[in-house]
Structure 1
Amino acid sequence: MLHPKMKKLFIGVDIHKRTHVAVIINCFTEKLGELRFENNKKGFEKLIEFVKSHLKRGITPCFGLEDTASNGRNFTRFLLNLGYTVKSVDASLTYTERRNQAISHKTDGHDAFCVAKVLLNQLDTLPDASIHDDSWTLQLLVSRRNSIVKVRAASKNQVHSYISHHYPSYPKFFTVTYCKAGMEFFQNFPSPSKLRGITKEELAEFLSIHSSGFFGIEHAEKILKLVEKDGDTSTEYQETRDFIVSHCIKEIKHCNEELEVIEAEIKKHMKQFPYKLETMPGINTITAAMLISEIGDIRRFSSSDKMCRYSGISPVACSSGDKDKNFRNKQGNRRLYEIFRDIASRNICRGRDKKSPINDTFLEYYNKKISQGKTKRQALIAVMRQITKVIYSMMIHQREYIKPTVSKTENA
């Protein structure tokens, strides 16, 4: 009786933007053929004809795709519509297989060959490739939002570097530097040279208009006194630096407008998902969207422990003989790790009154780990693990967050 793998051909595909490379091997790791084809329907059909030319009676093809940038979505959809078995091969598995060679090298053909070998050796454990347009579209929205946030942060850093020379006391001007009135002030008065001839009444009127009456004559006097105390900071080419500050402020305002639009679109798209992650403290709609975009289909994880390992929260076990140690995991999905870390940090913080905790259950668990001798980082990772279990349960059962009750005796 033949082994099931002897009835299959294994096609590893290295995915790229314009062209893909496929390598066919049999169950004995013998390379049967290699083909480079275009990333379009004509190229896909060319590959299918190439694969069929190597098929024999009773042999079925199985495809493995290493797709790290979603460039193979159309190809995956094409194969699934034809009814073929398609597996998703993680790039880390291909990397490990490539490093196992006597002489490590990297070419598209060799990468495809390594994908095919991983497909052969781990056929039963590799996840099925699937097309989820809803989570993929959400991922694109979140990625676009993150790009805008990075541009805004870069512009803010540039503004800080310039106005710290122009206005050494600028942090005292406004409680929040980039409030509406603050941005209007620095755009119109990027340096003290622009304030020459401006009376406190004129500045008070300007601030009042752009703060809806919140700032008045007292705040205008405060700013002018701080500017006078700092002295004249004008230097050569001041006009050019003033232009840069004003331009950066305009870019920040534009980014704020774009963020409002894209966040509204994210909230609109989130209505398609049945999850209720926003009911948990520390998770708003944007954070929930980031979670869903990174996790994708929650059913691909059979347990919360596997999701912990996927996100790099679970420790790495290292043992030899009678020695057994656990080390911090630096692998996994680091974007998802950062999201869980942010949620955990919010849950162990105290509210604005600095007295009542955001989530006393997780804060108590954090303090318990600290009392057991754990470091702050270790205690936070322990909270992240518990939060991962809660979020996994909320997503798999599509239910709201239920805060655990803590008895008074436990609090004591």
Structure 2
Amino acid sequence: MVTVGIDPHKHVHVAVAVGSDGRRIGKPLTVKNDALLITVLLGWIRTITDGPAVTWAIEDGRGFARRLADGLLLAGHEVVWIPTRLVAAHRKLHAATGAKSDTVDAAAAAHAAIATPELARHRIDEHVRELRVLVDYRTDLIKRRTMLINQLKAQLHVWLDHTPGDLARPKHLDSLTFLLNTAQLGAHVRRVLLEMTSEISGINQRVRDLDITIKEIVSPLAPALLEITGISHNSAAVLISEIADITRFTSSAKLARYTGCAPIPVYSSDQERHRLHRGGNRRLNSVLYTAAIVQKRFHPAAQALLARHEPAKGKRGARRILQRHLIDVIYRAMATDQAAWQHEITRHQRIA
């Protein structure tokens, strides 16, 4: 049996194959984290072994390697997540003193998987996978619609006081269609602009259909999450699709770091100071920003929190404090929803 250890990074992944005796097999592989990632990895492992029993041990960096793990699992392979501390322990055992590199870390992940067979296997929850596809498709449609609206605005030199979202409303789209039909335009120009308007109308309908589907899926999965002011069905879908298993974060503080809502300490000359964290998952950060804005308008407790911190932190600083507080609330809600969800799945399996 062959175990492949992978050290994941944002732009490249490093893979090392290790046999059941703990010795490396073949040469390490550095592969780009792009659309051909799975194809390249599977082609590489076939040059090393023809056996079907291959376990892929990935150092636990699910923000970078989730797509990789999903692809390998869908290709019929077993995938294991290796905790970072376990990788560090096996690196000390198997590497030369002080040695550390991507190849060494990948080999350590493979050794950890061999030595610890009871580690949790990666799995894909079908509901999470559905939401991930729907959310990504909806995001792509919104981008396409915004591009078309901006092109129309540039060609017509109208609607300059309106946002691209205005043409998502049928009333404004009908007004623009009437304008195109009555304005002094060349035949070819009118035809092209009307086709663009028709395409925008079609995208609007597809987005509405997706919103209905997402609402139907999310409603039974996240009742506690949807009770939070500022969390819509689409926001809940983004949270579920990006986070998936909330238990992979052992505390809300780690989730805050993952979403970019945890301030970074920058101490200097015995002065304690924190600055904004511009990293993290920006899609999740955007959801939290929107929720904070909504709560600022409609939630009394949030308004009181902002009023308490604004004199010292300013409006932006107070809003970031509210976002960090929202992480705690969302973490508890998602943990409650997931526990109920998994209990229901277990009950149905027992009945079956």
TM-score, normalising length: structure 1:
0.60
1:250 aligns with 2:198: yes
Conserved? CA contact 2:16–2:107, under 8 Å? no
Distance 1:241 1:88 in 2: 59
Matched ranges for 1:130-145 at <5 A: 130-145=123-138
The counterpart of 1:64, out of the listed 27, 39, 58, is 58
1:186 aligns with 2:163: no
The counterpart of 2:230, out of the listed 282, 288, 291, is 282
The counterpart of 2:246, out of the listed 288, 292, 298, is 298
Tell me which amino acid in the other structure corresponds to 1:386. H
The Cα shift of 1:312 comes to: 1.0
Distance 2:70 2:246 in 1: 19
After superposition, the C-alpha distances for 1:187-238 in whole angstroms (9 at most, x for unaligned) are 24317xx26xxxxxxxxxxxxxxxxxxxxxxxxxxxxxxxxxxxxxx5xx74
- State the match for 1:363 in structure 2: 303
Q: Secondary structure of 1:374's match?
A: helix
Conserved? CA contact 2:230–2:295, under 8 Å? yes
Distance 1:334 1:127 in 2: 28
Conserved? CA contact 1:314–1:385, under 8 Å? yes
Conserved? CA contact 1:39–1:75, under 8 Å? no
Distance 1:394 1:40 in 2: 38
The Cα shift of 1:184 comes to: 2.5
- State the match for 2:284 in structure 1: 336
Matched ranges for 1:40-79 at <5 A: 63-64=57-58, 68=65, 70-76=67-73, 78-79=76-77
Conserved? CA contact 1:278–1:288, under 8 Å? yes
* Number of residue equivalences: 298
Distance 2:224 2:152 in 1: 39
After superposition, the C-alpha distances for 1:38-71 in whole angstroms (9 at most, x for unaligned) are 5798986776657999xxxxxxx77226764724
Distance 1:317 1:370 in 2: 20
- State the match for 2:143 in structure 1: 150
Structure 2 vs 1, CA of residues 315 and 151 (structure 1 numbering), >3 Å: closer, same or farther? same
Q: Secondary structure of 2:260's match?
A: coil
Q: Secondary structure of 2:124's match?
A: coil
Distance 2:335 2:168 in 1: 40
Structure 2 vs 1, CA of residues 321 and 32 (structure 1 numbering), >3 Å: closer, same or farther? farther
Structure 2 vs 1, CA of residues 133 and 35 (structure 1 numbering), >3 Å: closer, same or farther? farther
The Cα shift of 1:239 comes to: 3.6
Cα RMSD after superposing both structures: 4.2
1:386 aligns with 2:334: no
The Cα shift of 1:32 comes to: 4.9
1:87 aligns with 2:89: no
Distance 2:112 2:288 in 1: 29
- State the match for 2:109 in structure 1: 119
Q: Secondary structure of 1:314's match?
A: coil
Distance 1:117 1:320 in 2: 39
Conserved? CA contact 2:249–2:255, under 8 Å? yes
* Percent of residue pairs identical: 20
Conserved? CA contact 2:18–2:111, under 8 Å? no
Question: Which protein has the bigger helix share?
Answer: 2
Tell me which amino acid in the other structure corresponds to 2:259. S
- State the match for 1:313 in structure 2: 261
Distance 1:88 1:130 in 2: 16
TM-score, normalising length: structure 2:
0.69
Distance 1:329 1:127 in 2: 31
Q: Secondary structure of 1:276's match?
A: helix
The Cα shift of 1:139 comes to: 0.9
The Cα shift of 1:159 comes to: 2.3
Distance 2:236 2:45 in 1: 36
Distance 1:178 1:85 in 2: 44
Structure 2 vs 1, CA of residues 47 and 188 (structure 1 numbering), >3 Å: closer, same or farther? farther
Which consecutive residues of structure 2, in runs of 5 or more, have no partner in the other structure? Answer: 30-37, 85-100, 339-352
Structure 2 vs 1, CA of residues 361 and 128 (structure 1 numbering), >3 Å: closer, same or farther? farther
Distance 1:119 1:289 in 2: 32
Which consecutive residues of structure 1, in runs of 5 or more, have no partner in the other structure? Answer: 1-7, 54-60, 90-110, 196-233, 350-357, 400-412
Distance 2:325 2:141 in 1: 32
Distance 1:118 1:281 in 2: 45
The Cα shift of 1:342 comes to: 0.7
Distance 1:376 1:396 in 2: 30
The Cα shift of 1:117 comes to: 5.7
Conserved? CA contact 1:88–1:127, under 8 Å? no
- State the match for 1:263 in structure 2: 211
Q: Secondary structure of 2:334's match?
A: helix
The counterpart of 1:159, out of the listed 148, 152, 165, is 152
The Cα shift of 1:303 comes to: 1.5
Larger radius of gyration: 1
